[in-house]
Chains A and B, each alone.
Chain A
Amino acid sequence: MDLQAIDCNDIKIFVFEGRLDIGRCTEVETELYRAIDCGNVKLILDLAKIDCLSSSGLRIFISVLRKLKETKGRLGICNIPPHVFKIFKVVDLDKVFEIYDSTDQAIACFQSSA
């Protein structure tokens, strides 16, 4: 699992690569929390290069979403490959998150509404 953070104005973009398995979720969660604690309220997760996602990964997304809602922030998830989107769908989470086809679409959406 590789996690890269890109700053785009007031938006922080996290690029995921590899498997987000249960062995890695703690460090990923810590990383995302740190960004929120530093004052970032707009997060975009780019899952283009993610190989697989399990419920432990979903749990991170849910807790990050919850935390951002407290600070009136926003979480966008983009570039979800079909085999990973399937996981969202199976547990009915495909409508719960703000999901975008691309990073640009997500950024545009975040900036226009701001």
Chain B
Amino acid sequence: MFHTKAKGKFDIFMEIVKRINTSIDLNETLSLIMSGAKQLMKSEASSLMLIDHETKKLFFNVATGEKGDILKETTIPLHKGIAGIVAATGESLIINRAENDPRLYRNVDHVTKFSTRNLICVPLIVEDHIIGVLEVLNKINQDSYSQADLGTLKSFSEFAALAINQRNLYQKMENKAYETSVLYRLCETINECDTIDDLLKENIRIVCEALQSDRVSIIAREGDAFVFKAAVGIPPKVLKNRKVPVDGNVLGYMLSTGTGVVSANIHEDERFETTTSIRYKNSSFVATPLKLRSKIVAFLCVTERKRKMPYQQWDLQLLEMIAQQIMENYSHSRLTEEFKNKQKMEAELAITARMQQDILPREFPADGQLDIAACTIPAKIVGGDYYDFLPLGQGKYGAIIADVAGKGIPAGLFMAISRSTIRVHFAHTHSPAKILELANKHIFADSRSGMFVTCFCCVLDTQKKEITYSNAGHYVQYLLKSQSRQIIPLHAPGKPLGVFAHETFHEKSLPYDPEDILVLYTDGVTEAVNAKFEEYGERRLKTKIRSARGSSSDGIMKLIIDDINKHQGASEPFDDITLMVITMKDPQRIEAKLRVDSQLQNVSVILNEADRILKEVNASKEQSSDVLTSIDEAFANIVHHGYENRPDGIIDIDMVMEEGGVFCVTFTDEAEQGVPMPLQPTLGRALLDKKGNLGIGRYLIHNLMDDVQYERTGIQNHLTIKKKIT
């Protein structure tokens, strides 16, 4: 004081300016402006208020003296009080008889217990824009402020306004940098957190730090109510009662306006009728709605600021930006979680499907009595179709094909139950009708969900050479007779299993011959559709079965599956496709099945195989020669005349020793039907004049073999030649 007294006003002014210019912090600058004003104007107190353009109120950004803390939460509306008038009009005021002036806003004095005698209030103006007011109160040792005092404070305020503006700009830049760093940290949490709960917890922890606050919560919509979803600094007692009321309070305000809220004192904010029951130590409050596709799904509320300054508009802006990022994190995390769940589901489905495939038999041990191939192709990963095969002893074998109504995991489970139920009953009886009857009772009892299963069940007696079958609502199945190439439909009426509690089933038997082929299938085969929704159909299936001459069961199965695939094209399979092919075998039977391309050198493979069989059955040199020559001629004809020397034609050769010692060779090819070679060709000396082929192949075959038959079915040619050996 001693020094300042000695100094002139100008010196003091310059000293204050110097001090202010060394500060870059806005709050410090404001403090320096106020203490400077107090010192310069020889006043008891000073105050600086800035305008909050959002609320149209003046607030004490910094108040000096011990009353400062109280003033922080006090706001003054524009036009109210001296400061309000100055802020609104931009005109300075000197009041030297304050106690009698009605314009004085007594609230502040009341709160601070300060008694104002006189004052000067000047606006803080930057580029014609009023940003606040600066006041000095109670001139020390004097009764009034002079016009000269007003001039001094005006000059000082011009400088102060510039300084504030500069610090504001700097602060804004800093804020931007701060926002960016906060957003970056929020982004990082996407990769750090595994669950949505973890993510929200971590995000509000960042909000706590970013807004330097002790209490942050996310209150989310859950049905009709709002509940605490994540919180920091909220007493457990409050959290326990998770529901948060939204009527008339700040949350209700945000819900109706859709905007965020910043309030210096939430308890006294007239925008809200009621405040929440949570009492804050610090009444400043900032909150923003969290929106998903422009719908409010939650609120992000921040209170209990660590700093003494109340939240400001900038804090709300920061919070709104944070809110956006939190929602993006939330959406991202939810998608990730959904994706993970889906992957988990798919993995589980795949495992179920594999388990289901695993319980289906892959090998069919039948002592050479049966040649079996089977497959099931589920439409959805887990299907309801299945086949089964059981050796029953004494040359008997059980074969089952079934289709559970529905698809997916429930069908898969029901299928597993049905399968074991039917299997169990095979231990007690070998009667297919009885097995279906018993199985039906158990399956009906298990079928609470109204599921049912169609099933064709048969027992193959390889000693009696007999098929006994029964049908529970399944399609008619087929038996291809090897000799006549006729398909016998295996009819037997019956209801699906699991529909009625008590049900009896018809049972039928029929004899079979070696090489007869039993084809069991589900409706996925015949009902496989192409792009035009045309079904594969029974007719095409039957034609394919009939054409499959000289192939193994596996070959026939693949032939049919290939044909179904060809029919379906790119169409998505609609239903499970299950197929079981059983060729009846005679283990004593001597046979060979070959498939070769239409190339002449391949004849040796066929002749080698024929030679092996002929030696095995002790054929004479002449018999062997006749057969081998005939095979050579037949093969040459198919290659030359059938496939016209194209190398990619397919020729199936089926050789077998039939009953009665007849060696039988069947050639099957898919060449065009050609003109047969003459049965009375040029012979003898005249052959010397023939160019190219002699045209005597067919004539030779007819002369060397005992029987020659030709047949065309569909796109196939079948040539069967026979010779009695023993």
Within 8 A of B (CB), among A61-100: 62, 65-66, 81-84, 86-87, 90-93, 95-96
Q: In the assembled complex, which residues on chain A have CB atoms less than 8 Å from the CB atom of B694?
A: 55, 58-59, 62, 91
Which A residue's beta carbon lies closest to that of B683?
A92
Known: A82-B622, A83-B621, A86-B622. A52 touches B632 (CB 8 A): yes
Asked if A111 CB lies within 8 Å of chain B CBs, one says no
* Neighbour of A52 across the interface among B624, B635, B687, CB < 8 A: B624
Within 8 A of B (CB), among A18-75: 19, 21-24, 51-56, 58-59, 62, 65-66
Q: In the assembled complex, which residues on chain B have CB atoms less than 8 Å from the CB atom of A93?
A: 683-684, 687
Which A residue's beta carbon lies closest to that of B622?
A83
| Pairwise interchain contact B687-A22, C-beta atoms closer than 8 A | no
Q: In the assembled complex, which residues on chain B have CB atoms less than 8 Å from the CB atom of A58?
A: 687, 694, 696
- Chain B binding surface SS class: helix
Q: In the assembled complex, which residues on chain B have CB atoms less than 8 Å from the CB atom of A66?
A: 688
| Pairwise interchain contact A90-B603, C-beta atoms closer than 8 A | no
| Pairwise interchain contact B625-A52, C-beta atoms closer than 8 A | yes
| Pairwise interchain contact B632-A51, C-beta atoms closer than 8 A | no
Give the CA-CA distance A5 to B280 in the complex, in Å: 118
| Pairwise interchain contact A91-B687, C-beta atoms closer than 8 A | yes
Known: A22-B636, A62-B688, A96-B685. A55 touches B621 (CB 8 A): no
Most chain B CB atoms below 10 A, which of A56, A59, A86? A56
| Pairwise interchain contact B704-A19, C-beta atoms closer than 8 A | no
* Neighbour of A21 across the interface among B607, B621, B683, B697, CB < 8 A: B607
Most chain B CB atoms below 10 A, which of A24, A52, A90, A93? A52
Which A residue's beta carbon lies closest to that of B686?
A92
* Neighbour of B633 across the interface among A55, A81, A95, CB < 8 A: A55
Within 8 A of A (CB), among B617-659: 621-622, 624-626, 628-629, 632-633, 635-636
B25 to chain A, nearest CB (A): 102
Q: In the assembled complex, which residues on chain B have CB atoms less than 8 Å from the CB atom of A51?
A: 624-625, 628
Which A residue's beta carbon lies closest to that of B608?
A19
Q: In the assembled complex, which residues on chain A have CB atoms less than 8 Å from the CB atom of B696?
A: 55, 58, 91
* Neighbour of B601 across the interface among A23, A59, A65, A82, CB < 8 A: A23
Give the CA-CA distance A58 to B622 in the complex, in Å: 17
Known: A23-B602, A54-B632, A96-B685. A59 touches B693 (CB 8 A): yes
Known: A52-B624, A52-B628. A22 touches B688 (CB 8 A): no
Q: In the assembled complex, which residues on chain A have CB atoms less than 8 Å from the CB atom of B602?
A: 23
* Neighbour of A23 across the interface among B604, B626, B687, B703, CB < 8 A: B604
B305 to chain A, nearest CB (A): 98
| Pairwise interchain contact B625-A90, C-beta atoms closer than 8 A | no
| Pairwise interchain contact A90-B687, C-beta atoms closer than 8 A | no
| Pairwise interchain contact A19-B687, C-beta atoms closer than 8 A | no
| Pairwise interchain contact A55-B697, C-beta atoms closer than 8 A | yes
| Pairwise interchain contact B700-A90, C-beta atoms closer than 8 A | yes
| Pairwise interchain contact A87-B700, C-beta atoms closer than 8 A | yes
* Neighbour of A22 across the interface among B600, B624, B704, CB < 8 A: B600
* Neighbour of B629 across the interface among A52, A62, A95, CB < 8 A: A52
Most chain A CB atoms below 10 A, which of B625, B700, B704? B625
Give the CA-CA distance A51 to B601 in the complex, in Å: 17
A13 to chain B, nearest CB (A): 23
Q: In the assembled complex, which residues on chain A have CB atoms less than 8 Å from the CB atom of B626?
A: 83, 86
| Pairwise interchain contact A91-B601, C-beta atoms closer than 8 A | no
Q: In the assembled complex, which residues on chain B have CB atoms less than 8 Å from the CB atom of A95?
A: 684-685
Q: In the assembled complex, which residues on chain A have CB atoms less than 8 Å from the CB atom of B685?
A: 92, 95-96
| Pairwise interchain contact A53-B683, C-beta atoms closer than 8 A | no
Asked if B253 CB lies within 8 Å of chain A CBs, one says no
Asked if B444 CB lies within 8 Å of chain A CBs, one says no
| Pairwise interchain contact B622-A19, C-beta atoms closer than 8 A | no
Asked if B699 CB lies within 8 Å of chain A CBs, one says yes
Give the CA-CA distance A53 to B696 in the complex, in Å: 13
Which residues on A are within 8 Å of B, measured CB to CB?
19, 21-24, 51-56, 58-59, 62, 65-66, 81-84, 86-87, 90-93, 95-96
Q: Jot down 26 A-B pairs with beta carbons below 8 A, ordered by A.
A: A21-B628, A22-B600, A22-B636, A23-B603, A24-B604, A51-B625, A54-B629, A54-B632, A55-B633, A55-B700, A56-B632, A56-B636, A58-B687, A59-B694, A62-B694, A66-B688, A83-B621, A83-B624, A87-B700, A90-B703, A90-B704, A91-B683, A91-B684, A92-B683, A95-B685, A96-B687
